[in-house]
C-alpha cells in the first residue's frame, strides 16, 4: 500500500483489527469499511450499556459484522486529516494531508494550499498506482462535497 503512518494514503490510515471470541465468532475476514470510531459502540454493546438519549456517535457497533460477515453494513464516508498547522492558519491547510474514503474510492490531497486531488479505486488498485480523477470527475465532486461539509462542522 502507498503511504506511511501519519499520511493520508491507505498505507498510512489502514490498520488490521483482530477479534477472537471462541464459541461466538466464526473465523473469517470482513471487508467492510470500519474505523476506530466503531470500537466504543462495539464495547458498549458487548457490555450491554445504553448510549444516552441525545448522544450521537459517529461509529457503529461491529457486533453484526463479527457475528455474520455478510451482515448489512452502512454505506459510509471516512475522512482523514493530518491536522497539524500553525495557530490561526487552518484554512490554508484545509486540503493538506487529507483523504476521504467512500466505497472503493479514496480521494487524496497532499499539498498545502489549493486542492490537488487524486482519486484511487482501492478495489482495482490497492497500491494506489493509477489516479483515476480525470476519468471519474463525478466521484471527485461527490467526495469533495462531503469533505467540505465535514470541514465546516
> Which region, left, alpha or beta, applies to residue 70 given φ > 0 means left and ψ of -120 to 50 means alpha?
alpha
pLDDT band at 39 (very low <50, low <70, confident <90, very high): very high
Please give the C-alpha separations between residue 109 and each of 102, 125, 130, in angstroms, as whole numbers: 15, 18, 15
Report the C-alpha gap between 50 and 70 in whole angstroms.
25
User: What pLDDT, on a 0 to 100 scale, did the predictor assign at position 13?
Assistant: 62
pLDDT band at 97 (very low <50, low <70, confident <90, very high): confident
pLDDT band at 44 (very low <50, low <70, confident <90, very high): very high
**Dihedral (C-alpha) 51, 56, 59, 63: value to the nearest 10 degrees?**
30
- Outline which parts of the chain fall under CATH 3.30.1120.10: 76-152
pLDDT band at 5 (very low <50, low <70, confident <90, very high): low
Mean pLDDT for the stretch of residues 72-79: 90
pLDDT band at 83 (very low <50, low <70, confident <90, very high): confident
* Grid coordinates belonging to 102: 467512500
DSSP H stretches of helix in the chain: 10-13, 39-47, 63-67, 137-152
Report the C-alpha gap between 87 and 11 in whole angstroms.
28
Q: What is Dmax (Cα atoms) for the chain?
A: 53
User: What pLDDT, on a 0 to 100 scale, did the predictor assign at position 6?
Assistant: 64
User: What pLDDT, on a 0 to 100 scale, did the predictor assign at position 114?
Assistant: 73
**Neighbour tally for 111: CB within 10 Å:** 10
User: What pLDDT, on a 0 to 100 scale, did the predictor assign at position 144?
Assistant: 96
What are 100-135's pLDDT values in tens digits? Answer: 999 999 999 987 667 889 999 999 998 889 999 999
27 pLDDT above the threshold of 80: no
51 pLDDT above the threshold of 80: yes
21 pLDDT above the threshold of 60: yes
Looking at CATH, the fold of the domain delimited by 76-152 is given as: Arylsulfatase, C-terminal domain (3.30.1120)
| Closest of 75, 82, 128, 83 to residue 106, by C-alpha | 128
Amino acid at each position: 500500500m502507498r503511504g506511511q503512518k501519519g499520511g493520508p494514503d491507505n498505507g498510512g490510515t489502514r490498520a488490521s483489527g483482530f477479534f477472537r471470541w471462541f464459541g461466538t465468532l466464526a473465523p473469517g475476514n470482513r471487508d467492510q469499511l470500519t474505523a476506530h470510531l466503531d470500537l466504543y459502540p462495539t464495547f458498549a454493546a458487548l457490555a450491554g450499556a445504553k448510549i444516552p438519549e441525545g448522544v450521537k456517535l459517529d461509529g457503529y457497533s461491529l457486533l453484526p459484522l463479527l457475528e455474520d460477515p455478510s451482515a448489512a453494513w452502512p454505506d459510509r464516508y471516512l475522512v482523514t486529516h493530518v491536522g497539524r498547522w500553525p495557530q490561526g492558519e487552518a484554512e490554508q491547510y484545509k486540503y493538506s494531508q487529507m483523504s476521504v474514503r467512500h466505497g472503493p474510492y479514496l480521494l487524496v490531497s497532499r499539498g498545502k494550499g489549493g486542492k490537488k486531488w487524486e482519486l484511487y479505486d482501492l478495489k482495482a488498485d490497492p497500491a494506489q498506482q493509477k489516479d483515476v480523477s480525470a476519468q471519474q470527475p463525478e466521484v471527485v465532486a461527490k467526495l469533495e462535497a462531503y469533505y467540505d461539509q465535514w470541514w465546516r462542522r
